[in-house]
Amino acid sequence: MQSRFVRYMLIWLLLLATIYLGEGLVRSLWLVGDVPRVVAARGELAPLEQNTIALFENASPSVAYIFTEGAVVTTPQGRSRQNGAGSGFVWDAAGHVVTNFHVVDQAKRVRVRLFDGTTVEARVVGTAPDHDLAVVRLADTRAGVRPIPIGRSADLKVGQSAYAIGNPYGLARTLTTGVVSALDRRLPTASHREIAGVIQTDAAINPGNSGGPLLDSAGRLIGVNTAIISESGSAAGIGFAVPVDTVNRVVPALIRDGRVPRPGIGISALPEDAAPDLPGIGVERVLAGSPAAGAGLRGTDRRSGVVGDVIVAADGVPVRSLGDLALALERAGIGKTIELTVLRDGQRIVVRVPVVDITGR
């Protein structure tokens, strides 16, 4: 009985071994994929995919690749001249292209590569350092340039889709997607002012994206990509764009006049690090003949070092930095009057000062 059981077990084990070895032999002889496989069918692309593809195909012909020679670049080692690259987009059929001011800052030569691959010489027609915007014009204006559709930024909502197109690291017309992460951010500029209403997005923005468009899901311009927060210099999920409502106000002025009026009252402020304990902006100097001089504002005594007036509020809103004051002046508008609350000799006084265009003063 025991020998019969052993015999059956051996037969069973032999069958298992035969099946195992045979299965491997069948796979190696008849199931090898040594010829192209049949392509599996798929259905329609998802609606979201179709929308993104259409958005890119419609918007990318408006995106430009900008090359500069001798532009001023700010690095941890200081400011220097070197060749650079960035992004931009076609504004109108006359060949005006919008980009960031820091892309073309004092560039000796600017060239623009268009959607069809041709590279065209361009000249800077206007810059707005306070808004990090600039406009260049193609020297050879050709038919077929496609202006980008313009949207609005005033009605943006956190969470809605955002799409960035640009040339990061020289990779032309790269699309990244994300959402509007936050609104009404404030971004410092090279002119020591701040851009108000800045859009924050998690759509990847890398070096080379500067000046490129940020779009909504309808393919309309909602911002100009301008900066990232990153210790390494690469995308970290936090990018910023100048809002299109600002762009749509600034760019026509740059095309028309080459500059944007700069609201001011005719003072120079004490550096914040020179008087960090002040509750507002210390007035260092009042320009002769300026609205501030006419209103009786007092500057710092250079001999004694006694701080002059300290501006602590503008139109009832607290002011703690030069950026705060610049935003208050912009909101008030050139030709209007702003009400400043000033600390003088320990007392609060209120003065009304006309806001004027200080560009070129």
Residue 1 pLDDT > 80:
no
What is the largest distance, in Å, between two alpha-carbon atoms of the chain? 123
Q: Of 302 and 289, which is predicted with more confidence?
A: 289
Q: Which helix (H) or strand (E) holds 103?
A: helix 101-104
Q: Alpha-carbon distance 32 to 63, whole Å?
A: 47
Q: Which CATH number fits domain 56-138: 1.10.274.50, 2.40.10.10, 2.120.10.30, 1.10.1660.10?
A: 2.40.10.10
Percent of the chain whose pLDDT exceeds 70 = 85
Alpha-carbon distance values, 214 to 99, 110, 200, 210, 237 (Å): 12, 23, 11, 10, 15
Q: Decide which of 195 and 134 is more confident.
A: 134
Indicate if the pLDDT at residue 212 is higher than 90.
yes
Please classify residue 50 by burial: count the beta carbons closer than 10 Å to its beta carbon, then call 0-12 exposed, 13-18 middle and 19+ buried.
Answer: exposed
- Tell the residue number behind the tokens 């490129």, with chain if given: 212
**Domain 263-357 indexed as CATH 2.30.42.10:** yes
Between CA 6 and CA 29 the distance in angstroms is 34
Answer whether 340's CB lies under 8 Å from 301's CB: no
Vertex 107 angle, CA 104 and 111, to 5°: 75
114-130, pLDDT tens digit by residue? 888 888 899 999 999 88
Q: Per-residue pLDDT averaged across 135-158, rounded?
A: 88
pLDDT the model gives residue 179: 94
Percent of the chain with pLDDT over 90: 30
- pTM exceeding the 0.95 threshold for the entire prediction: no
pLDDT of residue 111: 92
- Tell me, yes or no, if the two domains 161-247 and 263-357 fold the same way: no
Q: Indicate which residues carry an active-site annotation.
A: 102, 132, 210
What is the reported pLDDT for 134?
Answer: 94
Residue 273 predicted with pLDDT over 80: no
* CA angle in degrees (0–180, nearest 5) for 264-268-271: 125
Pairing outcome for strands 63-75 and 78-90: antiparallel
DSSP string, 188-257: E-TTS-EEEEEEEE-S---TT-TT-EEE-TTS-EEEEEEEE--SSSS--S-EEEEEHHHHHHHHHHHHHH
Please state whether 231 falls in left (phi above 0), alpha (psi between -120 and 50) or beta: alpha
CB 319 within 8 A of CB 328: yes
Helix, strand or coil for residue 27?
helix
For the chain, the domains span 56-138, 161-247, 263-357
For 161-247, the fitting CATH number among 3.40.50.2300, 3.30.1330.90, 2.40.10.10, 3.30.565.40 is 2.40.10.10
Which of these, 17, 103, 105, lies nearest to 67 by C-alpha position?
A: 103
User: What is the pLDDT averaged over residues 212-223?
Assistant: 94
CB contact set of 189 (below 8 Å; sequence gap of 6+)? 101, 129, 130, 131, 132, 195
Question: Can you give the pLDDT at residue 85?
Answer: 86
